Amino acid sequence: MLFLSIDMKQEKPQLVRGMRDLLYDEAEKLLYIIDISREISYKYGYREAILPTIEYYSLFAEKSGYEITKRMYVFDDLSGRKIALRPELTPSVARVFINKLQVMPKPLRISYFANVFRYDEPQKARYREFWQAGFEHLGSKSALADIEVIRLAYDIFETLELGEVSLKLGSMDLIKKIFLNAGVEYGSLPYFLYLTDKRKFDDLKKELNKYEKGNEAYESISQLANLQGTAEAKISEALHLLKNEELKETVNDIKYIYDVLRLIGIKEIVLDLSFARGIEYYTGIIYEFQHKELEVSIGGGGRYDLLIEYYGGPKTPATGCALGIDRIALLLKKEFKKNLSSAMIFALDQSDSLVSKVFEIAAILRKHDFQAVIETGEKDIAQALAKASKLGYDLFIILGSKELREGKVAVRNLKERTQYEVAIDNLADFLLKFKRKD
């Protein structure tokens, strides 16, 4: 006889560092945020896309920015092709637009709700796998598109009752033009944007000193970073400091968006004209959503008018943002669970006819918006009843051969500690009265 040997001392499987198991309340909270985001974005006209988790490495390598490309999960597939786990989804949206959607009427509004991967150092609010809700507005160069995306995000924040969310507002166009005017090559921009984004101004000064007009560019960035006072005061001072008319025009573009955002109810706006996000493909307005309870942003976005054209598509202005669902979950204090009454059903034996009736009763409960659980673990009614009470069920329903013959069930109200005999034919009416009372 052949016996299989099992090594009982084998180490239990471990979770990959930086990844998480989201169980029960944590999972339901993320899904609740996604459901709210999906519902609101649909009312704005955004249609959902479900995109692949892996893409060719080249899709992200050149335009996602200096830091993101250093943080990607990259590997060769079995055919030797260089593949990456998606670190974000905007390039994937650009790809699908070029291949499948460019003939559709513009603008297109696309939403997505998906996990992304970056090899960051794990810490609070920063994970190696995390979830994003994204909204991309393709085919419009109007500032109204940027404003719409921001207002959509705030509708989500307000529905979730997150409290005060401030908007950090700047312009990648302004920062890029300052560097390009200094003689920085376009291909070198990602590193300079990274230094600016991370406020590594000593390193930035050292790098800019290699260019003839580098000191002038550094002074412009430094002066913009030190602007004080109200947004109006910062804009006025920036227009005085910047001598280039093209740069002044860019500042006025930001002022227009700032003014309209204030008019439509977004009051907490921090204007930072030295602000640069780490994603290289941004070409215009950029922003981040910030909350006082977190040191990191809960989302951000901006305009990217050249990305689709860079990938070989037609000239297509675009704008969009992504929200960090995991970070929003850390802030969520309102009730997010579905408010369902609950019942545990206990069968005194497992005869065919009794089990069939138990499933029928469970179906009646679910039809009337109850969470109905058939107890499958306990054989002893006292232990099952104790479990139901401990787990917080509202009702405990008992069915045995006697009840089956009489067409009844015993229903115990675990909150009030009362018990009733209810005809199965009248169970629906009983449930309705219970919910009204509850």
- Of 309, 331, 353, the position where a domain reaches its end is 331
Residue 431, C-beta contacts closer than 8 angstroms, at least 6 positions apart: 364, 365, 368, 370
Same domain, yes or no: 173 and 143: yes
Same domain, yes or no: 325 and 347: no
- Of 304, 331, 358, the position where a domain reaches its end is 331
Q: What is the DSSP letter of 126?
A: B
In this prediction, residue 96 has a pLDDT band, given cuts at 50, 70 and 90, of: very high
- pLDDT tops 60 at residue 6: no
Percentage of the chain modeled with pLDDT above 90: 83
**Average model confidence (pLDDT) across the chain:** 93
Count other C-beta atoms under 10 Å from residue 434's C-beta.
Answer: 18
The CATH number of whichever domain residue 363 belongs to comes to 3.40.50.800
- pLDDT tops 70 at residue 5: no
Residue 64 in any domain: the answer is yes
Same domain, yes or no: 237 and 351: no
Same domain, yes or no: 321 and 250: yes
What is the C-alpha to C-alpha distance for residues 416 and 230, in angstroms, rounded to an integer?
59
pLDDT at 9: 65
Count other C-beta atoms under 10 Å from residue 423's C-beta.
Answer: 12
Closest CA to 394 of 335, 345, 327, 353: 345
Same domain, yes or no: 323 and 178: yes
What digits encode the pLDDT tens for the residues 160-204? 999 999 999 999 999 999 999 999 998 888 888 889 988 899 999
Same domain, yes or no: 361 and 325: no
| Domains: count for the chain | 2
- pLDDT tops 90 at residue 239: yes
What digits encode the pLDDT tens for the residues 398-428? 999 999 999 999 999 999 999 999 999 999 9
Residue 11 in any domain: the answer is no
What digits encode the pLDDT tens for the residues 335-358? 767 778 999 999 999 999 999 999
Residue 9 in any domain: the answer is no
Same domain, yes or no: 315 and 390: no
Residue 93 in any domain: the answer is yes
The CATH number of whichever domain residue 96 belongs to comes to 3.30.930.10
List the domain range (segments joined by +) for residue 388.
Answer: 341-437
Torsion, CA 324, CA 150, CA 153, CA 111, rounded to 10: -80
In this prediction, residue 64 has a pLDDT band, given cuts at 50, 70 and 90, of: confident
- pLDDT tops 80 at residue 318: yes
Closest CA to 339 of 218, 232, 438, 415: 438
